Structure 1
Amino acid sequence: MMFATAPRRRLSFLAILTILSTFVLSGITTAAHADEIMDRVNSGKSIRIGFANEVPWAYPGENQKPLGFVNAITMGVLKSMGYTNIEPVVTDWGGLIPGLKANRFDVITGGMYIMKNRCDNVNFSEPIGVFGECFIVPKGNPKGLGSYDDIKTKNAVIVTGAGYSTIENAKRAGVPAGNIMTVPGNSEILAAIKAGRADAGGMTYFSALHLSRESGGTVEATDPSLNPEWTFNWVGVGFRKADTEFLAAFNTALKAYLGSDEMMKAVQEYGYGNSQLPGDVTTAYVCENR
């Protein structure tokens, strides 16, 4: 009896160990793959969205209220997902990706182009729009600068923002590094043009249009179609690499929201229209080709 009973007890003990080990390992796996955003939401904390002062893309209003069409789209999608506890965090443009990676916020808006080097650091949502680049130039465009090729052939100086895709695009077009000036953001770009320290200010068409209106007629925006097709870019909302579960849910909600009457009404005041809708282009494609 003793020999018959002992093996049965041993098997039962091993079975218990196996079951316990499975639960422990399962718990470890779940913890390792848990989204930080989901953890915050489930614990009753806010979703922190980071953005810079980039009119009309994303910028702070009174009490740092998130304004701009990228913020409008992002908050519209989050609301459709049932999330309304949103905390805006305003920073400089160059601090968006480092701040996201350092867990200072959970989502970055700001009108950030989806680019291969950025895709290595953050996960982007599916595109929320497609946009071209142009310049602000002194009224009348005295040097006739409409494209990166013009900048190169006329040995002009272009000023742009630190971290802007304009820097890499100018280099790709053959503009010498010595002809590319970088400043913190759009207000400094405008100041450089007004002071005559640069001949053209490189930025997105929406930003250039806004600055031309705010400048009192001292600068004007060039036609983005004068630049080559490869300068057109798609914008996405940025997430940490670990937050894959939340990103998947966001993309599902984005697909239903993008181009809807509700969305188009929310972004109309910022100048976003049907021509900015991204169509069928995917983030995977853009990460490989931009």
Structure 2
Amino acid sequence: MKKLGILAGVGGVALTAILAASTAGSADDSKLEELKAQGFARVAIANEPPYTAVAADGKVSGAAPDVAREIFKRLGVNDIVASISEYGAMIPGLQAGRFDVVTAGLFMKPERCAAVVYSEPVLCDAEAMLVKKGNPKGFKSYEDVAKDATATIGAPGGGTEEKLALTAGVPRDRVIVVPDGQSGLKMLQDGRIDAYSLPVLSINDLVKKANDPN
């Protein structure tokens, strides 16, 4: 098995927070009372440790849902019920009323802030790439991936990393949508992609759990 390495900080720093559909005034109070009566809040998450994680028994944990669970308790809402969603479907699902809140590594961007209301930031992280040890293709940025006509990069569908790669000029057919972190790790180990992009915390979590001496 080939050795793997991490390129941290590619693509800069971003903030993540809890977000909700944009409402105002009495509508906010009415929604909170509705959630109190319901006894739980429906939250959208991504299965991306350490931001969010779903155990084999279905229990949801991780930085984002743990913070959300505590916040809702303090607001008088006893629990959260989580549903896994692709990043690109989170805000549309929130706007359509399928979720009450999104709590995931959904970075704060101007276009998203125009559509939804974010909480105060709860995490700050940077983008990263997981590559084979020694970084054989010499990637230092998404632009480097774009310049290499044979290079492919994996990223979550609808996530920041997918957009950053496309904006940097990586052709659509060389940006491979990967359903989850374990799949991305395996695809890189098997040589099906040349890099896998996620935030630093997520990449570090993947490498730690892989426990691969090679």
The two structures have a TM-score, normalised by structure 1, of 0.57
**Cα distance in structure 2, aligned partners of 1:193 and 1:62:** 24
| Structure 1 gaps, min length 5 | 1-31, 220-290
**Which residue in the other structure is 1:72 paired with?**
66
d(CA) in 2 for partners of 1:51, 1:163 = 13
**CA-CA distance at 1:96 after TM superposition:** 2.6
2:134 equivalent to 1:140: yes
Question: 2:172: which partner in 1?
Answer: 177
Do the aligned residues in 1 keep the contact of 2:44 with 2:85 (CA within 8 Å)?
no
* 2:85 aligned to which of 92, 98, 120: 92
Q: Distance in 2 between matches of 1:133 and 1:33?
A: 38
Q: How far apart, CA to CA, are the structure 2 residues paired with 1:183 and 1:88?
A: 25
The structure number with the bigger radius of gyration is: 1
Separation in 1, partners of 2:43, 2:62 = 13
Q: Which of the numbers 193, 204, 213 marks the counterpart of 1:209?
A: 204
More helix, by proportion = 1
Judging changes above 3 Å, is the alpha-carbon distance between structure 1 residues 157 and 43 closer, same or farther for their aligned structure 2 residues? same
Aligned-partner SS, 1:112: strand
Code of the aligned partner of 1:87: I
Secondary structure of residue in 2 paired with 1:203: strand
Question: Which structure's relative contact order is higher, taking Cα pairs within 8 Å and 6+ residues apart?
Answer: 2
Matched residue SS, 1:109: strand
- Does the aligned pair in 2 maintain the 1:212–1:218 contact within 8 Å? no
Per the alignment, do residues 78 and 141 of structure 1 end up closer, same or farther by CA in structure 2, a change over 3 Å counting? same
Q: Distance in 2 between matches of 1:93 and 1:201?
A: 17
Question: Which residue number corresponds to residue 265 of structure 1?
Answer: none
1:109 shift after superposition: 0.7
Matches of residues 248-263 of structure 1 in structure 2 within 5 Å? none
- Determine which of 171, 179, 197 is the counterpart of 2:192: 197
Question: How far apart in 1 are the matches of 2:56 and 2:186?
Answer: 25
- Name the residue aligned to 2:12: none
Aligned residue for 1:43, secondary structure, equals helix
The offset of 1:113, in angstroms, is: 0.6
The answer to which structure has the higher strand fraction is: 2
Residue 186 (structure 1) aligns with: 181
Q: CA deviation at 1:206?
A: 0.9
2:115 is paired with a residue whose SS is coil
- The TM-score, its normalising length taken from structure 2, stands at 0.75
Identity of aligned residues (%): 30
CA shift, 1:68, in A, is: 0.8
Task: Report the count of equivalent residues.
Answer: 187
Q: Paired residue for 1:61, among 32, 45, 55? A: 55
2:140 aligned with 1:127: no
Unaligned runs of 5+ in 2: 1-24
CA displacement at 1:47 relative to structure 2: 1.8
Q: Contact 2:39 / 2:79 at 8 angstroms: preserved in 1?
A: no
Q: Once the two structures are superposed, what CA deviation does each residue of 1:168-202 show, in whole Å capped at 9, x if it has no partner?
A: 21233333333222122322222321221210001
Within 2, Cα distance between the matches of 1:173 and 1:79? 42
The match for 1:167 among 162, 171, 180 is 162
1:46 CA displacement: 1.7
Cα deviation, residue 56, structure 1 = 0.5
Give me the whole-angstrom Cα distance separating, in 1, the residues matched to 2:186 and 2:111. 29
Counterpart in 2 of 1:104?
98
| Deviation of 1:42 (Å) | 4.5
Give the whole-Å Cα distance in 2 for the aligned partners of 1:66 and 1:178. 33
Q: Which amino acid aligns with 1:181?
A: I
RMSD (Å), alpha carbons: 2.5
Structure 1 residues 71 and 87, CA, compared in 2 at 3 Å: closer, same or farther?
Answer: closer
Q: What do the CA deviations read for 1:9-45 (whole angstroms, capped 9, x no partner)?
A: xxxxxxxxxxxxxxxxxxxxxxx95236324235343
